[in-house]
Amino acid sequence: MLAIASEPIFVLADTAMIGRLGVEPLAARAIASSLIGGIYWLFAFLIFGTTTLVGYHRGAGEPEICGEICLHALFLAAVGGIVVSILGILFAPHLYVLMGAGPDVSTLGSTYFRIRIAGSPFTFLLFATVGFLRGIQDTRTPMVIAFVVNGLNLVLDYLLIYGGLGLPAMGLRGAGIATLASQILAGTICLAVLFFSSHTSQYRLNRWRFNARRFLSLSRIGRDLAIRTGALRFSLVFATGTVARMGTASLSGHEIALQLFLLSSDTIDGIAVAGQTLAAKHLGADRPDKAYQMGKILILCGCVAGLIFGSGYILLKQPLIVLFTRSPEVAEVLGIAVFVLLALFQPVNGVVFASDGFLIGAHDTRYLMWAMLIGALGFFVPISWISLKWDLGLPGVWTGLSLLMAWRLATNSLRFFRKRWVLAFPGRN
């Protein structure tokens, strides 16, 4: 959980530093974060799919297959990362126009976006490596990598945004360079761990050949997760584009609220990771009853964690707003309604994220895909659009997000407690 929690904490610090530059840089970053987050999460199957497949075969006592899955994931990461980098650099200005950004925000953001998207191959290598390490139940190494890389990013952020130690103050562009440097370091460390660490030696293959079966198994789970995640990220990007048309202050306020939402969700994802890894392991060892008992405990932990975050957001509302912005317009847009919605749904989020992880570990990704498509496209996107047309403002958009989370709570709970996930993994009957 510490590894996952470090990411949003450092992102929050990054957001606070950029917020001090003014409303336009924060708005430019908001659009870039929404777009890049959406693109990257399409490749999140490199984490979750690899974890599920490696965990299952490790539970079945098949280390050689674990190694094959890892190498195929690295291949997909490298190819996908190069393609994303090229396309992102070419189409950055067009994406900002599509998102409804004004000329000043678009000019600032396009440069920042290009710098950040250039690091995609290294980020995707990190995804595949973390997925493999989680699958073999090594959570310590990803934690160390996360703290080293995010710590470097934070230090470089300060030096390159404001200037220091002889480095020029580059503002938003400096924040992008800091992130790119951290991405390169992350990819390099991951390759060193996989190919030179004694810890992973038993999974290394003397010779690697392309195996269609391994590729297809990763592609199938990747397809379901990519569509599921794509629907979620599309709805979030659509919401951000809608908020951008409400004005720069609304967009900046949305970015702050969204980063707080991601802080809690990414932290609770530590519980989801445990659920995913252990569900895959117990099903691989043909112990579904043990997986179910473990899942109930982790879902309860997710709910408690959500209660803690929700209470914190209510109690610390004003200090959090002051931390991120000095603009009275942004503070007014955030208001009471958005923070109340953000806080009240934290326990719901905790149950959803924990059960998500368990069901992914059980390979029940097709069900999750359809549930997300209905919730994101049936609830969140229409309500975001209505919020703009009917002048409901930021509270309207966040009401849509809250309804999406309520839908996910209902569908995940139904699936988990009815135990339909037991037969989801290919080959089980």
Determine, yes or no, domain membership for 49: yes
Q: Alpha-carbon dihedral of residues 376, 377, 380, 385, nearest 10 degrees? A: 150
pLDDT above 50 (res 5): no
| pLDDT of 13 strictly over 50 | yes
In a domain, 254, yes or no: yes
What's phi and psi for 164, nearest 5 deg?
170, 155
* Residue 428 resides in a domain: no
Q: How far is CA 336 from the centre of its chain?
A: 26
| Mean local confidence (pLDDT), 318-328 | 80
Q: For the segment 134-163, what is each residue's pLDDT rounded down to a tens digit?
A: 888 888 888 888 888 888 888 888 898 888
Instruction: For residue 352, give its domain range.
Output: 2-423
Mean pLDDT of 11-36: 78
Report yes or no on 429 lying in a domain. no
- Whether 268 is in a domain gets the answer yes
The number of distinct structural domains making up the chain is 1
94-108, 307-321, 323-337 — which one is most confidently predicted on average? 307-321
Number of H helices, E strands in the chain: 17, 0
Let me know if residue 234 belongs to a domain: yes
Q: Which pLDDT tens digit goes with each residue over 328-371? A: 888 777 777 788 888 888 999 999 999 998 998 888 889 999 99
pLDDT band at 185 (very low <50, low <70, confident <90, very high): very high
**pTM of the model as a whole:** 0.73
Counting Cβ atoms within 10 Å, is residue 191 exposed (0-12), middle (13-18) or buried (19+)? middle
